[in-house]
Structure 1
């Protein structure tokens, strides 16, 4: 499991002082991108070489409780499934031990023209290592 810290700033909140719902998507994206960087997946390099890019194909969210200004949050990310052209991740946003949000995200690897294509083999292997570790834990 990858853990990514986030602090809530004024710009993240709405008029009521809680995190605006769309900003949770930014927190989740940052955590997923950081996970890929940590495991050695070079998204920028793949794009520059014309190999492809990830796009979110499906996302389900469950909001449990609000985050507020100056909260210290942690986004937990786990790899659940990996296929030839897709990866599914489970994510949670926590404030301490309190669950604020749960997400299930499926990302598809696409050509620069937007057509599905297989992910690089070494990426699939890294994802499988992550999902195996989750299943055995």
Structure 2
């Protein structure tokens, strides 16, 4: 598995007064897809925190919006690991219409870092987690992210 997808329905709470998805909610959709991506690999974030004392935090986002989603639309949100360092990973994500995944609504690059949960200080990811992520990295990205 390299590119993971997760379908999300647009509800009233996701929209503005015009029944169009509020721009910041695309980040929520991407967060849900990243969480389900990890879960699909067998990584439960609360269990990981309990076992290791560490957790992921978003450190950087870049999102480009192409067209709006509307109330009741079914969206397909993808997550693909592109770069991996010892203390962070970078994913490329897209939000598209589920019935036509070529119809992109938004796309972004999200960098998440690994921190000690108690202090929020950056630290290296556990070896087992690095191994799991390595097995799911896109094959075209042999290089690692130069940032920690």
Is this a same-fold pair by TM over 0.5? yes
Mapping 1:18-97, distance limit 5 Å: 18-95=20-97, 96=100, 97=102
Task: List alignment gaps of at least 5 residues for structure 1.
Answer: none
* 3-state DSSP of counterpart to 1:69: coil
Tell me which stretches of 4 or more aligned residues in structure 1 moved more than 4 Å: none
TM-score scaled by structure 1?
A: 0.93
Task: List alignment gaps of at least 5 residues for structure 2.
Answer: 143-148
TM-score scaled by structure 2?
A: 0.86
**Equivalent pairs, count:** 136
* 3-state DSSP of counterpart to 1:21: coil
Structure with the larger helix share: 1
Partner of 2:112: 107
The 1-side partners of 2:137 and 2:43 are apart by 15
1:78·1:134 contact (CA, 8 Å) conserved in 2? no
Kindly tell me: are residues 132 and 2 of structure 1, through their superposed partners in 2, closer, same or farther at Cα, counting changes over 3 Å? closer
The 1-side partners of 2:89 and 2:4 are apart by 15
Measured on the aligned residues, the alpha-carbon RMSD in Å equals 1.5
1:79·1:134 contact (CA, 8 Å) conserved in 2? no
